Copies of this chain bind each other. A is one copy, B any other.
Amino acid sequence: MLMELKTPLILVNLKTYNESLGDKAVKLAKIAEEVGESTGVCIGLAPQFSDLHRVATQSEVPVFAQHVDPVTPGRGTGSILVESVVEAGAVGTLLNHSERQLRLADLEASLIRAKDVGLKVCICSNNQLVSGAAAALGPDFIAVEPPELIGTGIPVSKTQPEVVTATVDTIRRINPKVIPLCGAGISTGEDVAAALKLGTQGVLLASGVTKAKNPQQVLEDMAKHAR
């Protein structure tokens, strides 16, 4: 049975890491599923597009696309159609990750398209002001990630707590329905605890899990600190 998408949320972006490609994505999903079941904490995965179907059909974790385009069915060679990721089994999508940024109007159009087909949307933002703009668009989640910390293992929740709290405040003021997540540099349970303490309701992370020697251990540590 597909695990429910709920908070606190640990959302693992598999990016284009070799360590999380193909069968290795499926393996990570099974680990996430196991940890999720044993701890009761929701762990979602955002695999590469060509892995969406395999991960979604071979595990019970909530699967996110890493990006969708604002296209409608028809012409759109090379684009990511929202219908295609839903058909593959995804329940949500990231949008506007710092490595796949969107023009403002395309971000809004992609969000609308994603909602049309029932996808949950997590918009990524790089700072407080951009988070406010994203909140006005009405996504389900906003993950704030100062780009200079992405992939560093230096957690924003610890080194720039004021960025996180200011962002949470801005999001609440503009659109209290949006759930704030904390990204960038999250690699331990302690980082997760710090993120939640600052008012976010989950984390978006990547290398902290995908490049870990023991991803299960890391996810267990995170899930324990998330409860």
Contact = CB atoms under 8 A, between A and B. Distances in A.
A52 B80 CA distance: 13
Contacts of A46: 77
A78 B85 contact: no
Contacts of A54: 53
Contacts of A104: 96, 101-104, 107, 125, 130, 133-134
Interface stretch (A11-19, A36-44, A158-166, A212-220): A11-19
Given A129-B137, A138-B129, A73 B17 contact: yes
A133 B108 contact: yes
21 contacts: A13-B77, A15-B74, A16-B84, A17-B73, A18-B73, A21-B81, A46-B77, A48-B84, A49-B49, A49-B50, A53-B53, A75-B150, A75-B151, A101-B105, A103-B103, A104-B125, A104-B133, A104-B134, A112-B129, A132-B136, A133-B133
B133 A16 contact: no
A224 interface: no
A222 B113 CA distance: 36
A16 B76 contact: yes
A101 B103 CA distance: 6
For this chain, the copies found in one complex come to: 4
Nearest to A79: B16
A21 B84 CA distance: 7
A79 B170 CA distance: 30
Interface string A55-83: 00000000000110001111111111101
A134 B133 contact: yes
Interface residues of A, number: 65
A99 interface: yes
B137 A84 contact: no
A135 interface: yes
Contacts of A87: 21-22, 50
A75 B15 CA distance: 6
A94 interface: yes
A3 interface: no
A100 B135 CA distance: 23
A160 to B, nearest CB: 17
Contacts of A73: 16-18, 21
